[in-house]
Structure formats: structure tokens, C-alpha cells
Amino acid sequence: MAVRPDPGLRAIALIEGEKVKGKIIFEQFRANQPLKISGEVTGLTHGEHGMHIHEFGDLTSGCSSAGAHLNPHNKQHGGREDEDRHLGDLGNIVANAQGVAKFNMEDKLMSLYGVHSILGRSLVVHADRDDLGKNRMDEKSRTTGNSGQRVGCSVIALAQPEGWDKV
């Protein structure tokens, strides 16, 4: 029997909302490497939309029961490239005129491994642009980025590593 190489971890979020749908894949080979995030979300309005990892994978009351942004280090809200940010801050995805946002990004803080793993938490897509916490005079900017209503969400679930079905 052939020994499979360690493919790392892979997770999936299947976004559901009233109009919004999507599929997001998370991949990480090792805990100390960046998390790769790629996906497509449809049914959005044209423009930017905040996207965050929220603290709970509880969607019993829809996206509203997902809790706040994942923030185990009690930081201010920020963008994905900011030093001072919530662990769950992913910034914005951009929908084209047809309402489709396709993206590929990496994150150096989030992980599928360890005590602050995003597995079992939720991914939430918001109605509005995330201001990335830049309006320091506005409390909502420092906590949510003023990203508005939750229009789609999903629990982040462990997925079968790519290619394992072919071994």
C-alpha cells in the first residue's frame, strides 16, 4: 500500500444567504505557513463587501448567531495586512457588475491548526464595504469596519485534501 504524503489541511465554507451563495476553500500545508483562501461568491451588489471569520459556527438563527469577529487577542478591527487587527479580519472582496466576487488571498495570522483554528467557526459575507477600522472616531469602525448586514454565511468545515480520492 502506498503511503500518502501529508497534504496539510483543507477546509470548505459553502456560503448561504437569501440571495448570496458561494464556495470558499482554505488550504494550509503546515501551521507556520500562510493560509491560502480562494473562492467565489455570487448574488452580491456591485462593489466591495467585508468578509470575516466570526467566533462561532452556530448558525441556528442564521448569520446573526455567528457571534462577533474572531478576536482572541482583543485587538482593534483592521485589514488583512494590518498588524493590529482581529484574527478574523479578511478585508473586502469585490463583486463585478454581475454580482460575482472571485478571489485568491493569503493570510499570515489565520490557521487551520492550533488553539485559534478557524475550523468550526463561521465565515460571514457582509452587505457593505469594510472600512478596515480606519475611521478611529467611529466605534463601529473599530469593531466591525462598518461592513453592514450579514448577507451570507457558512460554518468552516474540514474537507478532504485535494487529490486524495485519486490515490
Catalytic residue status for 58: no
Q: Residue type at 153?
A: C
80 is catalytic: no
Please pick, among 10, 49, 54, 80, the residue that the annotation labels catalytic: 54
Catalytic annotation present for 49: no
Which of 10, 69, 80, 121 does the annotation list as catalytic?
69
Are 69 and 86 in contact by the 8 Å Cβ rule? The answer is: yes
Q: Tell me which of 6, 30, 49, 77 is the catalytic residue.
A: 77
List the one residue out of 123, 119, 153 whose CA is nearest residue 28: 119
Indicate if 73 belongs to the active site.
Answer: no
| Given 126, 128, 131, 142, the catalytic residue | 126
Active-site residue (options: 80, 85, 89, 142): 89
Of 49, 80, 121, 150, the catalytic one is 150
Which of 10, 85, 86, 121 is catalytic? The answer is 86
Pairing of strands 60-63, 47-54: unpaired
**Would you call 72 exposed, middle or buried from its count of C-beta atoms within 10 A (0-12, 13-18, 19+)?**
exposed
DSSP E strands: which ranges in 98-149?
101-107, 122-126
The sign one gets for the Cα dihedral 37, 42, 44, 48 is positive
Distance of CA 91 to the CA centre of its chain: 9
Question: Active site includes 46?
Answer: no
**Would residue 116 show up in a list of annotated catalytic residues for this protein?**
no
Q: Which of 10, 49, 52, 121 is catalytic?
A: 52
Q: Which residues are catalytic?
A: 52, 54, 69, 77, 86, 89, 126, 150
